[in-house]
Homo-oligomer: A and B are copies of this chain.
Amino acid sequence: MKKETYSKAGVQIEKAEGFVDRIKLRAKRPGHEKMWKGAGGYAAIQEVAPDLGIAVTTDGVGTKLLVANELKRHDTIGIDLVAMVANDLICVGATPTMFLDYYAVGHLEDELSDAIIAGILEGCDQAGMILAGGETAEMPGLYSKGHYDLAGFAIGTVQKSRLITGDKIKPGQKLIGVASNGIHSNGLSLARKVVPKPSWDKLLEPTAIYVKAAVSALNKYHRDICGIANITGGGWRNMLRLNEKVGFHIDHPLPVPKIFQMIGESVDTEEMYKTFNMGLGLAIIAKANDDAIVSEFASKGHFAQVIGTVTGKSGEIEIDGFKFTLKSK
């Protein structure tokens, strides 16, 4: 019965990972000595002054674009675009400051373009970022009628003393879960395959932007926050990116949104946790003040709770109730 997988939906994760590994191998060029290592590789960070790093990252919204196209609703996809990169920057402890978009389309239509940019501006507001620039490319011949693509770029700043490297993560520390806003912007190729079209409006819910809560929490508790994982492509395995020596034990998971229950009827549970956020939008590892950090997120409108602890089982996530273990590879 449960036979759908992300790979069958046309996405070749291993191939993509192999390609990325080959790039990393070949991109080692002079100048790298000025780069700082941030936890999980969520952003590249370059030192521009003795105590100041510039964090940068890029991402798209994947085939959530096709959901927006199908529903003819384009005013929230820009929120997703900002969320995907802004939420990555906070994972290294950076404060997001500037956003730029790349918007490519077959033929420019005012109504469509204005809806997209309205979403981007809303996302920038939610993240406290400036829309610093962008490129609008009209390419007849490359994009079919009504189709478009979006890429987002984000820049932030981080002091060296506040950089999150993941090295301080140790067994026994608390794992805080911050609730997602549904499927966010990953795994849509699979979700579109198994969710009936009348329910696609649930797939289009915009990604939660955690920036203001995270920046506020980092300002107050940066000494206690040892890791932050944005749960995107790869699902819960994102937590394992932060420190290869540890694992996680989840005993009080966040509620799983209905959309995942619907998808879960066609997809194996382990595949679900390896592809989707399953209600966990952001995972925070704290060595102290976990209750205060939870309150900080709650005060900014994000439901959060302590969901588990860090373990010494390298590369493993144990989840109570499901009785299974996710491995990093």
Question: A residues near B, CB below 8 A?
Answer: 9-12, 15-16, 18-20, 22-23, 26-27, 29, 31-32, 35, 43-44, 46, 48-49, 52, 54, 56-60, 62-63, 65-66, 97-98, 100-102, 104, 107-108, 110, 113-114, 117-118, 121, 124-125, 128-142, 144, 147, 149, 151, 153, 155, 157, 189
Number of copies: 2
Given the known inter-chain contacts A43-B133, A135-B59, please indicate yes or no for A16 contacting B97, CB distance below 8 A: no
Q: In the bound complex, what is the Cα–Cα distance between A114 and B63 (angstroms)?
A: 23
Let me know if A151 and B102 touch, CB within 8 A. yes
| Complex contacts, A54 vs chain B, CB 8 Å | 48, 54, 98, 155
> What are 18 A-B interface contacts by the 8 Å CB criterion?
A10-B138, A16-B108, A23-B117, A26-B118, A32-B130, A35-B132, A48-B54, A49-B52, A52-B52, A54-B54, A54-B98, A56-B98, A56-B133, A57-B133, A59-B135, A63-B141, A65-B139, A65-B142
Q: A153 to B153, alpha carbons, bound, how many Å? A: 7
Partner of A108, one of B15, B44, B153: B15
Judging by beta carbons under 8 Å apart, are A98 and B44 in contact?
yes
For A11, the chain B residues whose CB sits under 8 A away are: 138, 140
Contacts of A189 in B (CB 8 A): 139-141
CB distance from A240 to the nearest CB of B (A): 20
Shortest Cβ distance from residue A39 to the other chain B in the assembled complex, whole angstroms: 15
User: CB distance B153 to A63 under 8 Å?
Assistant: no
Residues on B with C-beta less than 8 A from A107 are: 10, 12
The answer to whether B138 touches A56, judged by C-beta atoms less than 8 angstroms apart, is: no
Contacts of A20 in B (CB 8 A): 136
**Once bound together, how far apart are the Cα atoms of A60 and B138, in whole Å?**
10
The reply to whether A134 and B58 form a contact with Cβ atoms under 8 Å apart is yes
Complex Cα–Cα for A305 and B29 (A):
33
The answer to whether A149 and B142 touch across the interface, beta carbons within 8 angstroms, is yes
Find A60's partner among B23, B65, B135 (CB 8 Å cutoff): B135
Give complex CA distance A104, B134 in Å. Answer: 17
Report A232 CB to chain B, min CB distance, Å: 11
Nearest Cβ distance between residue A59 and chain B, in whole angstroms?
A: 5
Residue contact B98 to A46, C-beta cutoff 8 Å: yes
User: A44 to B10, Cβ gap below 8 A?
Assistant: no
CB distance from A172 to the nearest CB of B (A): 33
What residues on B are CB-neighbors of A130 within 8 Å?
Answer: 27, 29, 31-32, 35, 44, 46
The answer to whether A63 touches B139, judged by C-beta atoms less than 8 angstroms apart, is yes
Q: Is the CB of A19 within 8 A of B56?
A: no
In the complex the two chains form, is A46's CB within 8 Å of B131's CB? no
Cα–Cα, bound, A270→B325 (Å): 67
Determine which of B9, B35, B121 lies in contact with A27 in the assembled complex, contact meaning CB atoms within 8 Å. Answer: B121
| Contact assessment for A16 and B141 in the assembled complex, using a CB-CB cutoff below 8 Å | no
Instruction: Tell me which residues across on chain B come within 8 A of A108, comparing CB atoms.
Output: 12, 15-16, 19
* With known contacts A100-B56, A100-B153, A151-B102, A19–B110 Cβ distance under 8 A: yes
